[in-house]
Chain A
């Protein structure tokens, strides 16, 4: 496939671009294989310099077009350029709704051009082949390709555990991805369990996702495990190897908890389709707790409804509150946080090991295990530690980013496997950062950047659904890592929380509805003017740094934030 086949009209002149909160700009629109560019005519419209739109087409979630054929003919006056005649004749408006929730409007002179542009963007934005995506073409000068891909080897994480206990080992039984196609090559398993046993246990778990170690709690040696549901089925099948595997985790007389992220009812029903849950009789040391968490389509719909409500500024207070309620997003945030806290509580307070699973073990399971670690482990609350956590618990653990983040909240396409679990995770982390403002080394901006990159990125980090696919596509060889870019000193500075000071304690958040807030920085990022809030943040930073840089600098912070985002406005000083 050639990109050029999809581009029907490559450039259009005199396009008016408007975006909430910024003055409209007129300029030349240009479509390339991966980007939508707009450069303003220098001097035209009295604009100083050239404003450019540099939008990754992958970021476009929905294209809406409206054409106006004005239907009357205006005789061209002598000094009118042909362009102006066409303007008067017909024009079209394209609304681009982006995955990062930004909304752009393009007013395009000429109906045909408008339709061509719209269909080109539509075609280019729905290219589904991973290898055709921009990260495979993006070659920034100051980064090396291999940089950042091997920052967080599981080996290193394992060494930390091995320094404290010999009960766990690193197994590479999945090196060819045959035992479990969605696990990485290496996993941490009980030392006393052989690879053979593991292979058999894997056959008893959906998708081969047998229980593996997710987190070792150094304070008391308890562990957090994750897996997929056992395939008990309607006949209540058992698997001695799986029972041995889980049995090995606990000493004699010890108790463990299984947190099933489905309701008891749903878990029972899953038996009809071959799934199920661990019966008490076969796993006597484990106590099961059901904490239903929403995922899949209902969660995506919740996201869509919330964004819809947020974009409707005309809502009365009553309508707004009732739509905030009916979208249920905050309920999902509360549920995810409470379940993660429950898991953390079991480990830290009840001193009992925990196994978390739902059905496939790639969605709500990861949400709970990753969040529990942020709550428990101060190491995960640093910029680098958080990246390591994402790498281990989301990317390598096989959260299907490609499927889940294919579409965002605006898409009109039929929902397939999209679900904003990763966003829900980021939201929960944001809630923690609000309740413990000094305990996270990073600020809101990192969470926003991660959200943006999970949905559309210049980097390969969030491509594909699992390590197996990443190997097939040679992602690590042919794309740049997001971490390499983020960890450049200049870049990293932008994401730091100026108030951070290492807090070695567990952070137990309040999960009362009164304490859970809507993440305005994300959901209203492009809607509400944030000048005053940004300035306040900059002032805070200034106070903390204790330097006497003039506060005026802060006024440019919004601009510099957009500058850092290649998919947003950039300003060229000519």
Chain B
């Protein structure tokens, strides 16, 4: 609280981000220890978590006040105008302090108290059990075993304690191989495909330089290929562009030389590094945040940002991996430089395509826990949880979610979860409200005692899983190991409006199909249950089923779902709160919001008697 100098500022304006005529709402701004809160004159609240703030900017003073622009990590952008410069300065300084945390212990997760008792907290953390997950995949088995080599994080600090390696890989091989790999991240099992007996393994780049070799590492790879009885060849996928990998050789790192390793097929797949991704997203946000954007500027901006190209590259790599496993039954070793960004993307997406379990709500949590959290994707650095090196920030996990979203668009029935689930996870990766994503690796998390001091996100998501269920999810896609074969032709990749404009309500469809369908299917289920219960009651009452009565009952009960299913859609579709206007509109759908053209002023000039909504508000608050 010591950072907060002003807790409340009145007469603050919240500008519409896209309005060319500076439409705004007036209200009061509050600063709390964890949130920034804006309540407008019609009592609507906008909450912004301090940890979500990516940047605060004070623009030059204008006649109406001092503009303050806040960019959030969940892509919300708010533009306030504070009447007095001193207040603005105070808020600005406070937010700068509050949004930058120096120590983990100051993060929201350590003060967040969801009123759970201790046992619930413990149970929450036990919800996802990775040992159980490896058992589900079918390991340990004749070829793979649990290694205790990293029990004390001695071999690799950024790996989890429990690692699965080929049975033939002895401890000296593991140790030797880890010394030949960047950050000690030696090849370990990420996913095991029961049917094909093929494995997805992951590691970091070898320290090969121009000519260095490591016999243990070569043995390690051989052990992996021998652990697959169906195909003795294995693929080594370097997910970097070839040029980057070659440049690394000068620094004593690099990639595997096919001549030194027996039975490997080496392949570059060309995903760009974190710095390219960061600036690509930056460009994308600049374009999508432009006022009065034309279609052509949007498309050319989308192109020059390269964002969709990167998403396609990530998914293409996953498709390559899946083909190797599903078609050739070959094991695949995936790495990039350190093996915690691109490698996590490709391994997790590959597993998601191969195994339908990861397309369930619980399975997706497991996938994230396994390939992202446990294998040391540096969430803290990449999401800038603590005030650190801005060059470490990168939207690698966001790209993963976006790739999943693209798959959902192609396979609307294959996923148990919906888009809201992805958005909610994205929200909490940055919110620092739960312990799961804090820190950069498991060792760090243990040192922070997160399981005692914070709560796990997953039980909370499971509790409200109704919100995240895809009503169209089909059992046809549920059988184990149902393969998804996405088409990665360019036109299948779309701009993810609901992610990047999540908070720009006027841009979205005004009626949500998913909500409606969800309600309907809920209702149908409920009604069916009711029918069954009633039938059971009738049975009970009559002692024996009365055929005539049953028939009658069914006839009268069946039309009911038809008649009853309509109310929810009316409820959903018409939250018709009359806006300031006398004219009713679908929420969020009115001419002023949509900025068809900037004629409002033109109209008003021509006909001052008719004061348009937008102009009227602007005047009132001047």
Interchain CB contact under 8 A, A342 and B585: no
Interface status of B487 (Cβ within 8 A of chain A) = yes
Q: Verify A289–B302 contact, CB threshold 8 A.
A: no
A375 to chain B, nearest CB (A): 10
B612 touches A349 (CB 8 A): yes
Using Cβ atoms and an 8 Å threshold, which residues of chain B touch A532?
A: 410-414
- Contact, CB under 8 Å: B309 / A317: yes
Contact between B412 and A533, CB atoms less than 8 A apart = yes
Q: Give the chain B neighbours of A543 by CB distance below 8 A.
A: 471-472, 517, 520-521, 524
Interface residues of A in 279-320 (CB under 8 A from B): 287, 289, 291, 310, 313, 315-320
Q: Are A438 and B295 in contact (CB under 8 A)?
A: no
Identify the stretch in A110-118, A244-252, A510-518 within 8 Å (CB) of chain B at 4 or more residues. Answer: A510-518
Residues of A within 8 A of B295 (CB): 325, 328, 330-331, 333-334, 513, 516
Residue of A nearest to B309 (CB): A317
Q: Are B293 and A330 in contact (CB under 8 A)?
A: no
Chain B: CB-nearest residue to A322? B303
Q: Mark B542-571, 1 if CB is under 8 A from A, else 0.
A: 000000000000000000011001100110
Contact with A along B391-431 (1 / 0, CB 8 A): 00000000000000000001111100000000000000000
Q: A321-B299, A439-B511 are in contact. Are A551 and B586 (CB under 8 A)?
A: no
Mask of A331-358 contacts with B, CB within 8 angstroms, 1/0: 1011000100110010011111000000
Chain A binder among B171-179, B256-264, B589-597? B589-597
User: What residues of chain B lie closer than 8 Å to A434, measured between beta carbons?
Assistant: 509
B490, A438: Cβ atoms under 8 Å?
A: no
Q: Is A141 located at the chain interface by the 8 A CB criterion?
A: no
User: Would A436 and B298 be within 8 Å (CB), given that A317-B309, A518-B491, A520-B491 are in contact?
Assistant: no
The answer, among A255, A330, A508, for a CB contact under 8 Å with B607, is A255
Do residues A342 and B599 form an inter-chain contact, with CB atoms below 8 A? yes
Task: Give CA–CA (A513, B297) in the complex, Å.
Answer: 9
Say yes or no: A507 contacts B586, CB within 8 Å: yes
Residues from chain B with Cβ under 8 Å of A436 in the complex = 509-511, 586, 589
A349 touches which of B293, B412, B591 (Cβ 8 Å):
B591
Contacting pair A317 B493 (CB below 8 A): yes
Contact yes or no, A501 B573, CB < 8 A: yes
List residues of chain A with CB within 8 A of the CB of B569: 438, 499, 501
B306 at interface by CB-CB < 8 Å: yes
- Using a CB-CB cutoff of 8 Å, which residues 464-498 of chain B contact chain A? 471-472, 474, 476, 487, 489-495, 497
Q: Mark B591-612, 1 if CB is under 8 A from A, else 0.
A: 1011111010011001100101
Interface residues of B in 492-512 (CB under 8 A from A): 492-495, 497, 500-501, 506-512
Chain B residues positioned under 8 Å from A499 (CB to CB): 513, 516-517, 569
Query: Is A437 in contact with chain B by the CB < 8 A criterion?
Result: yes
Check: B382 CB closer than 8 A to any chain A CB. Answer: no
CB of B327 closer than 8 Å to a CB of A: no
B312 x A544 contact (CB < 8 A): no
CB distance from A367 to the nearest CB of B (A): 15
**When chains A and B are docked, how far (Å) is the Cα of A349 from the Cα of B584?**
11
B577 in contact (CB, < 8 A): no
Q: At the interface, yes or no: A143 with Cβ under 8 Å from chain B?
A: no
Residues of B within 8 A of A349 (CB): 583, 591, 612
In the complex, what's the smallest C-beta–C-beta distance from B556 to chain A, in angstroms?
A: 15
Chain B 280-303 interface residues, beta-carbon cutoff 8 Å to A: 288, 293-300, 302-303
Is A192 an interface residue, CB under 8 A from the partner?
A: no
* A218 to B: closest C-beta gap in Å: 14
| Nearest CB of A to B584, in Å | 6
Partner of B596, one of A324, A342, A536: A342
Would A321 and B610 be within 8 Å (CB), given that A516-B295, A544-B520 are in contact? no
Tell me if B308 counts as interface (CB < 8 A to partner A): yes
| With A350-B610, A501-B573: A506-B585 Cβ-Cβ less than 8 Å | yes
Nearest B residue (CB) for A528: B487
Instruction: Tell me which of B489, B495, B562, B583 has the highest count of chain A C-beta atoms within 10 A of its own C-beta.
Output: B489
B565 and A338 contact, CB distance less than 8 A: no
Interfacial chain A residues near B30, Cβ < 8 Å: none
Which A residue's beta carbon lies closest to that of B493? A317
Q: Contact: A435 with B570, CB < 8 Å?
A: no
Query: How far is A65 from B99 in the complex, measured between Cα atoms in Å?
Result: 67
B294 touches A331 (CB 8 A): yes
With a cutoff of 8 Å between Cβ atoms, the chain A residues found around residue B320 in the complex are none
Q: How far is the CA of A439 from the CA of B476 in the complex (A)?
A: 31
A317-B312, A320-B490, A349-B583 in contact; A514/B516 too (CB < 8 A)? no
Most A CB atoms within 10 A — which of B312, B500, B589, B612? B589
Instruction: Collect the chain B residues with CB atoms within 8 Å of residue A322's CB.
Output: 299-300, 303
Min Cβ gap B399→A in Å is 14
| B18, CB-defined interface residue at 8 Å | yes
Tell me, rounded to whole Å, the shortest Cβ–Cβ distance linking B585 to chain A: 6
List B contacts of A315 (CB < 8 A). 490
CB distance from B414 to the nearest CB of A (A): 8
Structural contact, B296 and A331, CB atoms closer than 8 A: yes
A521 at the interface (CB under 8 A from B): no
A507 vs B599: C-alpha distance when bound (angstroms):
19
Complex Cα–Cα for A341 and B592 (A): 11
Chain B residues closer than 8 Å to A520, beta-carbon distance: 491
B472 x A318 contact (CB < 8 A): no
* A512 touching B293 in the complex, CB below 8 Å, given contacts A438-B569, A517-B494: yes
When the two chains form their complex, are residues B412 and A536 in contact, meaning their CB atoms are under 8 A apart? Answer: yes
**Contacting pair A546 B513 (CB below 8 A):** no
CB distance from A456 to the nearest CB of B (A): 26
Which partner residue on chain B sits nearest A537 by CB separation?
B412
Residues of B within 8 A of A551 (CB): 474, 476
In the complex, whether A22 has a CB less than 8 A from a CB of chain B is no
Looking across the interface, which residue of chain B has its beta carbon closest to that of A435? B509
Set A313, A511, A517: member contacting B594, Cβ < 8 A: A511
In the bound complex, do residue B492 and residue A528 qualify as a contact, i.e. CB atoms below 8 Å apart?
A: yes
Q: Is the CB of A513 within 8 A of B294?
A: yes
State the CA gap A424–B484 with chains docked (Å). 35
Closest to B313 in A: A317
Q: Does A147 have its Cβ within 8 Å of any Cβ on chain B?
A: no
Best-surrounded residue of B294, B410, B511 (most CB of chain A within 10 A): B511
Query: Please, which residue of chain B has its CB at the minimum distance from the CB of A516?
Result: B295
CA distance A517 to B410 in the complex (A): 15
The reply to whether the CB of A529 lies closer than 8 angstroms to some CB of chain B is yes
Q: Quick check: A345 and B413 within 8 Å, CB to CB?
A: no
Contact B591 A524 (CB under 8 A): no
A317 with B596: CB separation less than 8 A? no
Contact at A324–B299, with CB atoms within 8 Å? yes
How many Å lie between the Cα of A341 and that of B593 in the bound state? Answer: 12
Q: Are B607 and A325 touching (Cβ within 8 A)? A: no
A501, B309: Cα distance in complex, Å: 39
In the complex formed, the residue of A with least CB distance to B603 is A350
Enumerate chain B residues within 8 angstroms of A338, measured Cβ to Cβ.
596-597
Closest to A320 in B: B490
Measured in the bound complex, the distance between the Cα atoms of B523 and A544 in whole Å is: 10
Could you tell me the distance in whole angstroms from the C-beta of B605 to the nearest C-beta in chain A? 10
Contact B501 A514, beta carbon cutoff 8 Å: yes
Q: Are the CB atoms of B288 and A505 closer together than 8 Å? A: no
Contact A501 B570 (CB under 8 A): yes
Please tell me if A540 contacts chain B, counting CB pairs below 8 Å: yes
Decide if A546 touches B596 in the complex (CB within 8 Å). Answer: no
Query: A325-B299, A513-B298 given. 12 additional CB < 8 A pairs?
Result: A310-B491, A324-B299, A338-B597, A342-B597, A349-B612, A350-B607, A510-B506, A512-B507, A514-B288, A532-B410, A535-B474, A546-B561
| A-B CB contact pairs (8 Å), 16 listed | A318-B303, A319-B490, A321-B302, A322-B299, A342-B597, A351-B610, A435-B511, A436-B589, A438-B513, A508-B590, A511-B596, A514-B298, A540-B472, A544-B517, A546-B565, A551-B474
A residues near B (Cβ < 8 Å) are 255, 287, 289, 291, 310, 313, 315-322, 324-325, 328, 330-331, 333-334, 338, 341-342, 345, 348-352, 434-439, 499, 501, 503, 505-518, 520, 524, 528-529, 532-533, 535-536, 539-540, 543-546, 551
Which 9 interchain pairs have the tightest Cβ spacing?
Answer: A513-B298, A536-B412, A321-B303, A325-B299, A320-B490, A317-B309, A546-B561, A331-B295, A341-B596
